A = this chain, B = another copy of it.
Amino acid sequence: MTTGTSLKLDKSSFMPLYHQIEQALRSQIEGGELAPGQAISERELSETLKVSRMTARQALHALRDEGLIYTERGRGTFVAEPKMTVHTRQLLGFSEDMRRRGLAAASKVLSFRRFRPEPAIAEKLRLEEGEEAFEIVRLRLADRVPMAYETCLLPARRCPELKRAEVERGSLYQILEQVYGVRLGQADEILEAACATAYEAQLLSIRPRSPVLVVTRRVFATDDSVIEAVRSVYRGDRYQATIQLKRR
């Protein structure tokens, strides 16, 4: 194993060591410098890089969780055969999702409003009595072709000054993070198959009753507060969701 010899760590960097190792190994694997089946020993990595074994291990476990490597007790750690991990579903905005698929993303804001929501929505967003929310309806395009129709709800308290122009200009998640200091944590999604309504079909340029993948998502901040509830209707002929399953 010659991994460590071409791997440089910057111990003064703000980026944690395990993260640097993880990123470097990921690059080597994706760039083909580390081939499937090749061994990456915790102990050797630790010795070569002059880090503790636990630090090396933390990096390797992150890669294992992505499916890039696999570990076998008593045998070692090895680079896995390529899989569909590049598209594995993550908490990404639409633009980034498309970028990873090699598609050019664009969006059209169909409507934007701030309003006092009905109880069901208020509960979904965990709003207090009298709190307001934003509703943003968008048509999502990829390579200039409609891809999804999306209705997004946000608690107004988390982004009180949100403007339609901002949303039209850039990624909502970036605005939340960079302008409003929101820390995105995780999200839950439900995926189901349905038939496009006439309205959805028209927007998506598909025939009425075409199959669509309906994705209902709720996004949480690192403090467990609800940041967003969104319903996306993706064209069945253009969109697939890829996920990775663990055994437990």
Binding site for B on A (CB under 8 A): 36, 54, 67, 70-72, 75, 78, 80-81, 83-85, 88-91, 126, 184-195, 209-214, 217-218, 220, 222-224, 234, 236, 239-248
Query: Does the CB pair A187–B245 fall under 8 Å?
Result: yes
* Interface of chain A, main secondary structure: strand
Can you list 16 A-B contacts with CB-CB less than 8 angstroms, sorted by A residue number?
A: A67-B186, A70-B220, A70-B223, A71-B222, A80-B224, A85-B188, A90-B246, A186-B247, A188-B245, A191-B213, A193-B213, A193-B214, A193-B236, A194-B211, A195-B211, A211-B211
Distance in Å from the Cβ of A89 to the closest Cβ of chain B? 6
With A209-B209, A223-B72: A244-B188 Cβ-Cβ less than 8 Å = yes
Across the two chains, which residue of chain B brings its CB closest to A75?
A: B223
When the two chains form their complex, are residues B192 and A239 in contact, meaning their CB atoms are under 8 A apart? yes
Structural contact, B191 and A247, CB atoms closer than 8 A: no
Residue in B188, B222, B240 whose CB lies within 8 Å of A190: B240
Q: How far is the CA of A153 from the CA of B151 in the complex (A)?
A: 39
